[in-house]
Amino acid sequence: MSANVRRMTEGSPAKLIFFFSLPLMMGNMFQQIYIITDTLIISRTLGVSALAALGSTDWFSYMMISVIQAAAQGFAILIAQTFGAGDEKQLKRVYARATVLSVIMTVFMTAASLAMIRPVMLFQNTPLTVRPLAEEYLGVLFAGIPAMMLLNYCSSVLRALGDSRTPLVSMVISALLNVGLDWLMVVQLHTGVWGAAAATVAGQLLAGLYCLYVMRSLDAIRTQKEDYRRDRKLDVELLKLSWPMMIQNLVISSGGIVVQSRVNTFALANIAGYTAASKLYGALELAALAYGFAMVTYIGQNYGAKKYERIFSGIHASLAIGIASGAVIGAVIYLGGHHIIGFFLNEEGQTAIDALVIGVEFLNLMALTLPILYVLHIVRSVLQGFGDTVVPMISGAAECIARVAMAVLVSRFIGWPAMIWAEIAAWLAADAVLFGVLFRRLRELKAIMSKGVQL
């Protein structure tokens, strides 16, 4: 077994969760450095219109990327549970069938996403002045969905086996290559926005190939031809975990597209300011994503090993760490985020000034309420680690409803402020759904532990 592969069924839960999360945070940090650099290069080289075009693609591109991540993470839940249970033969079969299903999904999603570009841009009310740039960017990005799936699937499998270091290295590779290619394509070769999309795809492809190279050396998932044979029961089990997560992210991002369609009805300054703040969203949730991935692996392995007492300890530890992290990161962003937004919007004129004010207002609001988002990521991931992907899907629907209600209904009465409060309303709605189910689930687990009955 590789030294990077780690069982989370032994040792201090708080230390395991935190130190497993650290490489993931660093990986996310490099990814955010790339996103920010990419946005800076485009905005400073191509102007506010290009920045607005990029912003018009955010929710739609997030939709496809998040659905891919959900599929990979759903498969990884069963891999983590099987690994925790110590069933090596079944682990190989689970991994093999998950690989087959991932390939099938990749083909379908590539075709579907490319076909949806024009209809979604029209639905979003994307301004005619920026629509060609938005469609150009998405065309290249979605053609690279196979690279996205390779990276996300391989990273999810490695995390399920307790390896958070290899995904870190892969993200460093991806980020550095992306930044270098961005500078080459956009600044030196003057390719425009499609060059930035091509740089993203190239970085993901190389990072995914690196993860695949590492996976080939792991005895735990070294498969034989017979492991890939069709197994209807196993396929259904894998899809029952992944489909609700895919639908969850699809619903959440659909709500975001509706919000974007409303944002696009406001002035160019609103669109650019909203985009600039949104580009820092990833920096805000940087640690939250890492804690979420850690909890899926931690809960999955301990649930598979039937170590229920450790589940309670892990949940308490993760919530304490998450809330504290959210408060600290939120404070840092609140105090310094306006400087970064200022770099995005460096043009002269009233439009750029107005966009800066709008972007800072949105960013500060998210920073002050950040612990709500961190709790959301952790609790949702805990339930997913149990194998419950339906309730998180329902929470995604609640998130979508709250977001759309603010953008479509409340905005009629209070105008622009409803657009930036939509995000916080969505977090609160999702938390309300998740906590009720989590408390019930933990009561059931306590009852089982008191009776000494195995699940």
Residues 259/404, Cβ–Cβ less than 8 Å:
yes
**Nearest residue to 282 via CA among 21, 36, 22:** 36
Please give the share of the chain, as a percent, with pLDDT higher than 90: 39
CA dist 63 → 113, 169, 232 (Å): 10, 25, 28
In tens, the pLDDT along 298-330 reads 998 898 888 888 999 999 999 999 999 999 999
pLDDT above 50: residue 211: yes
Q: Token pair for residue 353?
A: 């000034």
In tens, the pLDDT along 37-46 reads 777 777 777 7
Stronger pLDDT, 178 or 210, i.e. the higher one: 210
- C-alpha dihedral sign at 74, 375, 167, 55: positive
Model pTM score: 0.76
In tens, the pLDDT along 32-79 reads 777 777 777 777 777 767 777 777 777 788 888 888 988 998 899 899
Helix ranges restricted to H, 345-416: 350-368, 370-385, 390-404, 411-414
| Amino acid in the structure at residue 105 | M
pLDDT above 50: residue 1: no
Instruction: Name the least confident of 40-44, 193-197, 272-276.
Output: 40-44
pLDDT above 90: residue 346: no
Q: Can you tell me the distance from the alpha carbon of 444 to that of 442, in angstroms, rounded to the nearest whole number?
A: 5
Looking at residue 347, what is its pLDDT? 62
pLDDT above 90: residue 122: no
Q: What is the mean pLDDT of residues 83-95?
A: 89
In tens, the pLDDT along 330-339 reads 999 888 877 7
Please give the share of the chain, as a percent, with pLDDT higher than 70: 96
Task: Indicate the pLDDT class of residue 367, thresholds 50, 70 and 90.
Answer: very high
